[in-house]
């Protein structure tokens, strides 16, 4: 009897579904994708997960996995094959950092471009996902209601009107840096995609490639990035290698530099606030957002919600970094210095965190 496929509940318009789908395709894991319409949320996602979210993956032995990072890690452990985690220190740390950057920071341009340049299209697409059998007019109405919190989240994540130009300048500079990289390498670390590539594909597929105006913009100003998106979404048969000898392409240094300059100050301040919050609420699960803080982009200052979950993602990078000693630590520190990552070296970790749905709680041992 043929083994049952995994079932991926998600959507073409969803950031993290794109990440998991690209991974499943690259690994040639047998899966079936089911659009998360209203019935799927009611009958599967809410009962199995407890809150509305996509993507959700059900394995052939009926284990329910939620959160793209945990889905990928569980499948890496079950399926073997070429790992998406490089095993050499510089490449592995850079891959983890770029996953965190894609997941938790590029959500700012992704949400900005979707809700401020593709709004009507996105409302319609939300409606079509939720009620596939409804008329286009009904879909638009349903989409407006369903998309309301997401459209509002663009502003809460930092895309207030006075920040729009800075968000676009920063994103276009990233596209230039990535174009220079993909001129030389098919993926971030060679001819095989890594967890860093899967982190970046979240924003760069569903929002920045597939939303019509953003896709037209990407194909026009950064065709090499658009080609990488296409490689990521329909990968060739399993093949390819990470560069030998832990080589870190010099074209990735500007990408890491941008992450350290933009995201790290926010993560540092988030850590201080999470530390304070945990001291004031011992043992409690943190809310998804704990107030607002300032952030800077391209010389402009904005405000955004403080997201404890981002620190759970960073903790994966920090755990790996802190596990390194001797020459490996020295090699990684040299890379971090070269990319302006001294804030990462000196990062003051908050108490240990465990994931709790879309937020975090104190880890059981702390």
Stretch that binds ligand GSH, among 62-70, 92-100, 251-259, 316-324 (CB under 6 A): 62-70
- Rounded to whole angstroms, the Cα distance separating 333 from 326 reads 11
Residues contacting residue 216 through CB under 8 Å, at least 6 positions apart = none
Nearest approach in angstroms of CB 358 to ligand GSH is 6
Q: How far is the CB of 315 from ligand GSH (least distance, A)?
A: 13
Binding mask 94-133 for ligand GSH (x = CB under 6 A): ---------x------------------------------
12-20, 73-81, 233-241, 320-328 -> range binding ligand GSH (CB under 6 A): 12-20
What three-state secondary structure class fits 185? coil
Do 53 and 235 form a contact (C-beta atoms < 8 A)? no
Cα–Cα distance for residue pair 303/10, rounded to 1 Å: 30
From 69, 118, 194, 310, residue interacting with ligand GSH (rule: CB under 6 A): 69
The two most distant CA atoms of the chain are separated, in Å, by: 63
Contact flag: residue 14 with ligand GSH (CB under 6 A)? yes
CA dist., res. 100 & res. 271, Å (int): 15
Task: Using alpha carbons, list the distances in angstroms from residue 224 to 145, 171, 172, 174, 247.
Answer: 36, 15, 13, 12, 22
- Write down the least CB distance from residue 120 to ligand GSH, Å: 20
Which token pair is 82? 């070429």
Nearer Cβ to ligand GSH, position 15 or 113? Answer: 15
Interface residue with ligand GSH among 9, 21, 27, 68 (CB under 6 A) is 68
Find the shortest distance in angstroms from Cβ 211 to ligand GSH. Answer: 13
Question: For the chain, how many helices (H) and strands (E)?
Answer: 16, 8
**Where in 243-282 is the site for ligand GSH (CB under 6 A)?**
none
Buried-state track 202-223, b at ≥16 Cβ within 10 A, e below 16: bbbbbbbbbbeebbebbeeebe
Nearer to ligand GSH by Cβ, of 71 and 188: the residue is 71
Q: Which of 328, 302, 316 is nearest to 354 (CA)?
A: 316
Q: Of 157 and 256, which CB lies nearer to ligand GSH in the complex structure? A: 157
Nearer to ligand GSH by Cβ, of 56 and 178: the residue is 56
Strands (E), 11-52: 31-35
Q: How far apart (Å, rounded) are the C-alpha atoms in residues 44 and 37? A: 10
Considering CB under 6 A, how many residues would be counted as binding ligand GSH?
10
DSSP state of 44: I
CB atoms within 10 A of CB 330: 12
Of residues 303 through 362, those in contact with ligand GSH by CB under 6 A are: 358
* Antiparallel, parallel or unpaired: β 292-297 and 300-305: antiparallel
Closest CB 68 distance from ligand GSH, rounded Å:
3
Give the residue among 350, 288, 342 at the shortest CA–CA distance from 104. 288
Which residue sits closest to ligand GSH, CB atoms considered? 68
Question: From the CB of 159, what's the least distance to ligand GSH, in Å?
Answer: 16
Binding segment for ligand GSH (CB under 6 A), chosen from 66-74, 131-139, 264-272, 274-282, is: 66-74
Which of 53, 129, 178, 256 lies at the binding interface for ligand GSH (CB under 6 A)? 53
Binding residue (CB under 6 A) for ligand GSH from 33, 67, 197, 246: 67
Chain residues binding ligand GSH by CB under 6 A are 14-16, 53-54, 67-69, 103, 358
């Amino acid at each position: 009897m043929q083994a049952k496929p995994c079932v991926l509940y998600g959507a073409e318009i969803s950031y993290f579904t794109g990440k998991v789908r690209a991974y499943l395709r690259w690994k040639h894991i047998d899966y079936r994708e089911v659009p998360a319409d209203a019935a799927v949320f009611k009958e599967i996602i809410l009962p199995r997960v407890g809150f509305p979210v996509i993507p959700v993956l059900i394995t052939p032995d009926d284990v329910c996995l939620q959160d793209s990072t945990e889905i990928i890690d569980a499948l890496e452990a079950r399926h073997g094959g070429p790992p998406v985690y490089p095993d050499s220190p510089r490449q592995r740390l850079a891959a983890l950092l770029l996953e965190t950057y894609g997941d938790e920071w590029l959500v700012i341009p992704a949400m900005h471009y979707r809700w401020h340049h593709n709004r009507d299209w996105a409302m319609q697409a939300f409606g079509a996902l939720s009620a596939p059998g409804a008329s286009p007019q009904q879909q638009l109405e349903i989409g407006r209601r369903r998309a309301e919190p997401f459209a509002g989240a663009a502003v809460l994540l930092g895309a207030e009107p006075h920040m729009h130009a800075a968000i676009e300048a920063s994103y276009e500079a990233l596209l230039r840096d990535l174009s220079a990289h993909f001129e030389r390498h098919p993926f971030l670390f060679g001819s095989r995609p890594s967890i860093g590539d899967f982190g970046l594909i979240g924003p760069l597929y569903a929002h920045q490639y597939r939303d019509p105006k953003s896709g037209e913009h990407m194909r026009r100003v950064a065709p090499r990035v658009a080609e990488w998106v296409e490689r990521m979404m329909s990968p060739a048969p399993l093949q390819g290698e990470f560069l030998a000898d832990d080589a870190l392409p010099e074209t990735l240094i500007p990408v890491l530099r941008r992450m350290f300059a933009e995201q790290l100050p926010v993560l540092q301040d988030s850590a201080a606030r999470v530390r304070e919050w945990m001291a004031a609420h011992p043992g409690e699960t943190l809310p998804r957002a704990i107030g607002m803080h300032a952030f800077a982009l391209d010389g402009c200052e904005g405000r955004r919600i403080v997201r404890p979950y981002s620190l759970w993602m960073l903790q994966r990078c920090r755990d790996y970094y802190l596990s390194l000693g001797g020459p490996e630590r020295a090699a990684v520190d040299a890379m971090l210095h070269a990319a302006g990552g001294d804030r990462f070296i000196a990062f003051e970790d908050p108490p240990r965190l465990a994931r709790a749905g879309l937020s975090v709680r104190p880890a059981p041992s702390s």
